[in-house]
Every structure is written in C-alpha cells, then in structure tokens.
A and B are shown apart, each in its own frame.
Chain A
Amino acid sequence: MSKRQLAMVMDLNKCIGCQTCTVACKTQWTNRNGREYMYWNNVETYPGTGYPKNWMELGGGFDAAGDLQPGIIPNLEADYGVPWDYNYDALQGGASFEPNVEPTWGPNWDEDEGTGLFPQDNYFFYLPRICNHCTNPGCLSACPRDAIFKREQDGVVLVDLDRCQGYRYCIAGCPYKKIYFNPKISKSEKCILCFPRIEQGLPPACAQQCVGRIRFVGFLDDTEGQVHKLVNKYKVALGLRTDYGTQPNVYYVPPTESPAKFDANGKIIEGSTRLPIEELEKLFGTEVHQAIKTLKAEMKKRKETGESELMDILIAYQHSDMFRLDNNYYQQVAKESGRKPLALVDNRYVAGKFTKSGHEMNFFHGGHTGAVGGHH
C-alpha cells in the first residue's frame, strides 16, 4: 500500500458513451510505436463482450485465500482487434475505398447492442475503464522481474520499462486486462494515470476532456475532496469487480435510473426497471444496494428540500471542484526526493489536503505559477 492514493470516481449515470475520453487518451499516449491497438481508456457497452473480448473470463486477480490466479494473455486479432485504416491517399487515383486490414474485430464491435428485447426490456449502459491502480495489483504480483511498482506518493502503478523483459505474466495477472503488451518494443505498457500531467496541475486527459463531467480525481485521504466524499462518506462510489481481490482505486457511481419495461402491448409496466440489480451486483458487489438506496434518498431529499451535498457533487457545477491534485504535496515530494518541482501548467485544479486554495482563475490575470498558496 502506498502512502497516499490518488483515485478516480466515474458517475455511470452520466456517461453518454461519446468516447471523448478514449480519444483524449489515445492521442495523448497510444497512437504510436506498437501501442496502436491499446486502449488505456476504453468505454464499453455493458452487457457486452468488452475490451479485450470477454475480459472478465480471462483469469487473473486473487482468490479468497489471496493466491494469484492464472490468466490468459489475449490475442491481438481475436480479442483486441487489429487497428485498421483506409486508403484515403489512393482515392485520388481512382482506387476503391479499402481498409488496409480486413476488420474482423475491434473494441466496441458490439457497441449499443446491450441485451433484452426491443422495445420491451432491452437495456445497456456504458462502462468506461482505465487501469484501476489497485492497492494490491495483480500485475505487480505476477511480474518475476519486479518491473512493476506502485508509487509511494500517490499509488499510481507503473511499469519500469528498463526492467521489463516482455514476459507478459502481468497481463495474465491483471483481472481487468488493463496492462498491454507492446510487441514493437517487447515490453508491457499501461495507463499511467497521466502522472506527468497531474504533477503539473492538469487532470488526466480522459477526465479533463470528459464532456459529461462524470470523472472526479483526487486523493482518498483528502476529506474535503469529492472523491473522498463519494467513496468514503456517502459510499455511493464502488470498485469494479472487487471480488478479484486487487482493491481497485477507480470507483463507479452505479447507474440508478433506467426506464421501466414495456409489456407486450407496449404499455409501461409500472414500478419495473430494465436494469437487473443482479448485473450491478455482479459488477459492484452487494454494497450496490445501499449505494442505490443512498442515491435515491438524496435525490428525493434534493427534490423536497432543495438541498443535498451528494447531489451537488454529482451535478458537478464546477470542473475545478472535480479535480483536487494537491500540487503543494507533489512539490514537497519532488523537493524531498531531490528533484526540481515542475512548473504548474494550470492552477485551477491544485487544491487538496496540503494545498488549501486553488481555484481562483489566476491565468486570467497573468499569474501562471504564483498563487499556489496555503502551504501546509
């Protein structure tokens, strides 16, 4: 376990599956050098095959006794999908529009299919996934070279590319299949929670670009922070498949609102809900019942009294409130380890346990770096 843990909360009620996060991540990190097929961030339709295909059935993680479970390393063609492109240049010469590889599978091949019978009881929701930066990472435990480490300062799980020899036991060990093999450099690579951005006051690209404002980022021990409140105070944000035993640090507010079913005559079945609670229980554990209860109660309270801290948080009025990157803390860590702290790129998100003020919009009046303020 690390000294502090940076975590993300995703509100599934608000995810519209627009893939902006996916594209933000891809253009930032994975569009080159053997990473083309990787989606460190992906948004899959649930129920569905997911990415890589049927990842929940590929093993990894720990059993109840704490033993790492064997897993399967997915195949590029069959399970991830080979990225393809089209011959735009050749079109000018009169060629027909052709993909460079025959597309046979890819992420979101079954997008929006979901399950059930339209229009009676079909349903689906979107499940955005990044590396869970687990407290007990399966990838780390599987590596026979000690090439994977969890950063002491914020719990970000990283691969030491110098030590990695491309054995791929980490991929078998990760139950979420969120660590990937780069065949071009023969090493494993994964989501880095955009740590170079975070250290400069920028939220992870996926979170900052999210148009639905579903993603909160902050330290779990920052009691003022929204992440802490959602996870620990209200307990409405839950880990995905915690039964894998890796203690994931990406939390999800489960989807609570789904339309009622229709009967054979197309009439609404009062009191019914399309989204079976069993599915949510499978993903988020039995705690999902209490989480949904709390969410509904707070929604009601908000309707009746106009007040609910939880609803205010989930509405996410201010982007700047959603990210608390505690810049003073990172500056302190840098100094303690003899590194030069990085200059801030943006100071709207720097608040945190050790960084009191933060979101005065200083760059409208010139101060790019000053005004971090409020030293601990």
Chain B
Amino acid sequence: MKKLTSALLAVSVISSAVAADSAITAIKVNGNLDKVSYNYQVWNTAKFSTVTLYPQTTITFNDKKANEMNANNSAIKAEVAAIYNDSKIAFMIKWPDGTQSIQQGDKTDTYSDGFAVQFAGNYSNPKELPYIGMGSDGRPVVIHLQKESVKTYEPNGNGDVSHQVNRNQTNLFGKDLANFDKEVKRTGSGDYERSFVGEGFRSMTEIKDASNSSYSRIAYENKGWMGTLSRPLKDSYVNLDAAVIPVAFAVWDGDKLGRNGLKYLTAWTAVELQGKKGNKDLVAALHGNVEGDVAKGKEAVANNGCVGCHQVEATDAENLMGPSLTNIGGYSTADYIRESLVNPSAVVVPGYNRNAHSNYAWYNVENGKRVSTMTDFSWLEKADLDNMVAYLKTLKAEVK
C-alpha cells in the first residue's frame, strides 16, 4: 500500500510544483497620481491580475478566540492592478469579504478590515529578498497600512493636554462646551493610514518624520473591499523606479478578529513597470516553475527530521520550536525556502518573544545578531534540496 501511494504521488506531481500567480503589469499613465482613489477613472485602463493570499500560520498568537476562529482558514483570491507615471506609482487591490468590519471607538474587542502593501528596501538580488513577514535583519521593508476605522486620537501627537480632559471636568458650559467638543473632534486624526519601516515585525516602526507621502483609501462595496495606495516611485526608504519590483499584499478580516499577524498575505509578487528597461530576473525568480520531485522531497523532509521542530503539514502537531510551515509554499518564494535550508541564519523568522516560550529557543542572540538554532542543511545533495523545496512549495491552504 505504501509503495502504491508513493508511486501515485510521483506520477501526479512529476518534476514541478504548480507555479505561483503570474506577475502584475503596471501600466504607464499620464495623469496625476498624487491622490488616487478607488473611483479614479484611470483604473479603467489598468490591467487587473489575480493574486492569492494565504492565511499567516508561521506563528500562532495568544488570542484564544481568534485562534479558534482562524484555525481552518482557506486562501483567498484578490484582484490587483498597478499604474505609474514619472514620479508616482499606485496600486489597487480588490478582495472579497462577506462582512464589513470597522473597529469601534467604544468597544474593546472589535477589529477593522484593512490591507497593506509591502515594498522591499533592496531587491537587487532576487534570491535574497527580505523576509515576507515584514522584513528581516539587514533586509528592511516599507509597509503601507490602511484600515477602515473610526477616528483615533494620537496621545503623543501634538501634546494638546487641555483637550484631553473629560468634557465633564472642564469648566465650560453651553457654547464653550460645544466648541470644546468640536475641537476634540477636529484633532482626532481622520483615518488610519500609516507607513512603517521594519526589519522583522517586532522592529516595525511607524514613519513619522513626514518623509513619506503616501495616500491610501479603502471602500466597501458588493461584499468586497477596494483599497488603493499611491506613493512616490522613490523616497528615502525604497526605490521602485525599475523594470521589475517585488511587491506583497496583505489583508485583514476584522470579523475574524484579524490584526497584526492574523492576516492573509501573498508571496513577493513581481510588478513589471510597462516600458521600463532593465533586468527582469525577478519575474523568473518569483513566478518561474520550481523544479524538483515533490514526492521525493516529502520523503527527504521526513528523513531529515524537519517535523522535530516544525509543524510541516497542517495535520502535524503544532511545534513551538520552529516556525510552522503549513502555508510556507503560499507566501514564501522558492529561493527563500532554499536559503533557509542551506543558511538558516540568513533570515531568522522574527517569532515569539523569547520569554513567551522560553524552552523553545529557535534562535540565540550572538553579538546582537540572531543566530538560528536550526541545523544547516547545506551538505545535502542539490537534487535533494531541489526536491525538498518543490515539496515545501506545495504546502499551502486551498482557495475555497
């Protein structure tokens, strides 16, 4: 029986894993892209491509209810388009969501739907892109986040203490009190849009020095969200003025208590800027076929004891020692998987606070740098590595 199964597996997956979504083409336009919204006419000329977003399962958080609700998430498909002109680039993402969730200003346990677009600080080597989960040590990313939300008040914002007191404790009455309320309302920031720079999500830091001039909007219509982002092709953090750039998308479902790592995300996706000349290696690296024998790769993964530290398939037991691999084929590139096998410390997944699971040290800190405790598999034959990568690329939730 065992023989038969492996024979069947070998037949069904000969030599390559299913290729990822295809690259996105950014159309060059003439119009102004400073403040692009979802109802902007220019989207009519844009070319929409389908991307698949996989549930983040690399690490599990400590919200009991959320974990129950997100235990069996399937992947979702979204439509993405990009346009650019001489100075700006804009993206639009449309994704299905049966419920419109908005974090309420008077509730403690509600969360917003939202989306984020991630750019790599450096993508000159397609084989060494930043870690998909908000960057990694020495490989920064910039993330633009937009969530549908009620007005929020920035406590550290402008230091306006006089409007931070309870209205009942002011000595104001009538018109003055109405003016006080108005001022409080006015100083509440209008929307949630934020930009971050990060080298791993623990290090993620909001860009507040105004060096970043993005514009993002979000709207709910026909059981789905439309989100747009326009930003400069070039700023002090990233340079997107190239023939091909890597971009990744994430969406949150507030109805399932989604926030932070409780999200759906794409792998790095190549965006080709129409008409730009230059190296296009990135397209092949991100969207080319992954050569390797999946069945043999599965065997090699079993033989090398990966499951000792990782949850490999969703049916395996959870393992806190290493990141869960159950969706790694969905949101990681083949090159990233290969790099992690042969040089585990190149990217150390910024996992739990070490203190949260003190007996499971998936990295040590040496000279201020995180060093993975994973065994280095660079001694494996190339064919074995190819097969393992091909197999790991198949690990992902299905779209339902």
Contacts and interface: CB of A to CB of B under 8 A. Distances in A.
Question: Do A and B interact with each other, yes or no?
Answer: yes
Interface of A: 31-34, 36-37, 59-60, 65-76, 80, 82, 85, 136, 140-146, 161-163, 165-169, 171-173, 180-181, 183-187
A169 B62 contact: yes
Interface residues of B, number: 42
A71 B63 contact: yes
A267 B322 CA distance: 65
Nearest to A136: B355
Contacts, number: 129
Interface stretch (B100-108, B121-129, B213-221): B100-108
A166 B358 CA distance: 25
B175 interface: no
Contacts of A180: 108
Interface in B244-269: 259-261
B108 A75 contact: yes
A32 B169 contact: yes
Contact of A141 (B107, B261, B355): B355
Contact of B103 (A33, A80, A136, A183): A183
B359 interface: yes
A140 B259 CA distance: 18
Given A67-B359, A74-B109, A145-B201, A184 B153 contact: yes
Contact of B353 (A142, A162, A187): A142
Given A59-B64, A161-B156, A32 B165 contact: yes
B164 A142 contact: no
B166 A70 contact: no
B152 interface: yes
Nearest to B351: A144
Contacts of A142: 61-62, 353, 356
B320 interface: yes
B108 A74 contact: yes
B31 interface: no
B353 A141 contact: yes
B32 interface: no
Contact of B63 (A73, A80, A163, A184): A73
B164 A33 contact: yes
A65 B152 CA distance: 39
Given A33-B164, A186-B149, A71 B64 contact: yes
Nearest to A143: B353
B154 A68 contact: no
B364 interface: no
Closest 5 CB pairs of A and B: A32-B166, A70-B64, A68-B356, A141-B356, A167-B260
A169 B156 contact: no
B64 A173 contact: no
B204 interface: yes
Contact of A172 (B64, B106, B156, B206): B64
Contacts of A185: 152-155
Contacts of B260: 144-145, 165, 167, 169
Contact of A187 (B155, B164, B206): B155
Nearest to A58: B64
Nearest to B166: A32
B205 interface: yes
Contacts of B152: 184-186
B67 interface: yes
B355 A140 contact: yes
A295 B103 CA distance: 51
18 contacts: A32-B165, A33-B166, A37-B108, A66-B358, A67-B359, A68-B352, A70-B67, A73-B65, A76-B106, A141-B355, A144-B353, A146-B353, A167-B260, A168-B259, A172-B62, A172-B64, A183-B108, A185-B154
B62 A70 contact: yes
A98 B379 CA distance: 76
Interface in B63-109: 63-65, 67, 103-109
Contact of B153 (A33, A136, A146, A169): A33
A36 B166 contact: yes
Contacts of A75: 107-109
B234 interface: no
